[in-house]
A and B are shown apart, each in its own frame.
Chain A
Amino acid sequence: DAGVIQSPRHEVTEMGQEVTLRCKPISGHDYLFWYRQTMMRGLELLIYFNNNVPIDDSGMPEDRFSAKMPNASFSTLKIQPSEPRDSAVYFCASRLEPGNTIYFGEGSWLTVV
């Protein structure tokens, strides 16, 4: 079975550019999560969706970050404009209620120079 699929795996962009990260959750999963991992702060939950509806975006660092889930099989995390401090690994994960486990994608490694 296909796991959570993320793209791109690696992105290097210049400060000020728009970055779009994409995620396809595991088919049938009704929860989707976006996490950010940095050395300083570890794994942070940015936002999560239930049945395509954003439920909690309190972890989104600022207005430069936005996330959408137009359908059950696709989500995007957008950063506009990007800054060097946004450099991190961004993970998408999904879960099927009532299961407990969240399953991660391979991550998108973002470098903003």
Chain B
Amino acid sequence: AQKITQTQPGMFVQEKEAVTLDCTYDTSDQSYGLFWYKQPSSGEMIFLIYQGSYDEQNATEGRYSLNFQKARKSANLVISASQLGDSAMYFCAMREGTGNQFYFGTGTSLTVIP
């Protein structure tokens, strides 16, 4: 089974609107971490946000928030007030316990339309 599943290959959003990028994960560990990274066309991988499995509050970082639903094993990224510069690939990732293997999804390509 896939550890991380991103079912939206591509998404479009109007500038200034909010958008949700889906991510589901599969693990039997009680302790794990969930991450979102942004990869613009220039290629670098930029860390956006982190959620620990024991964190009771959803993580937020500026316009980014992580909608963490533990029972459903989902960790969706919400981007509020989309900007043209948000156009990029977005990857969801998971780290199990204290391991050093990060499992990445296949990514979602987001296009922000002016």
Contact = CB atoms under 8 A, between A and B. Distances in A.
18 contacts: A33-B100, A42-B107, A43-B91, A43-B104, A45-B102, A55-B100, A89-B43, A91-B45, A93-B45, A100-B33, A101-B47, A101-B50, A102-B102, A106-B43, A107-B43, A107-B44, A107-B45, A109-B43
A91 B46 CA distance: 12
Nearest to A103: B47
A27 B84 CA distance: 33
A98 to B, nearest CB: 8
A104 B104 CA distance: 14
Q: On chain B, which size bracket covers the interface?
A: 20 to 34
A107 B50 CA distance: 22
Given A91-B45, A101-B47, 15 more contacts: A31-B100, A42-B104, A42-B105, A42-B106, A45-B101, A55-B100, A56-B100, A89-B43, A93-B45, A95-B100, A100-B35, A101-B50, A104-B37, A105-B44, A106-B43
Interface in B92-108: 95, 100-102, 104-107
A34 interface: no
Contacts of A100: 33, 35, 50, 52, 95
A91 B102 CA distance: 13
B10 to A, nearest CB: 14
Interface string B38-59: 0000111111001010000000
A48 B33 CA distance: 19
Interface in A12-68: 31, 33, 42-43, 45, 48, 50, 55-56
Contacts of A42: 104-107
A25 to B, nearest CB: 14
B50 A104 contact: no
A11 B50 CA distance: 33
Nearest to A91: B45
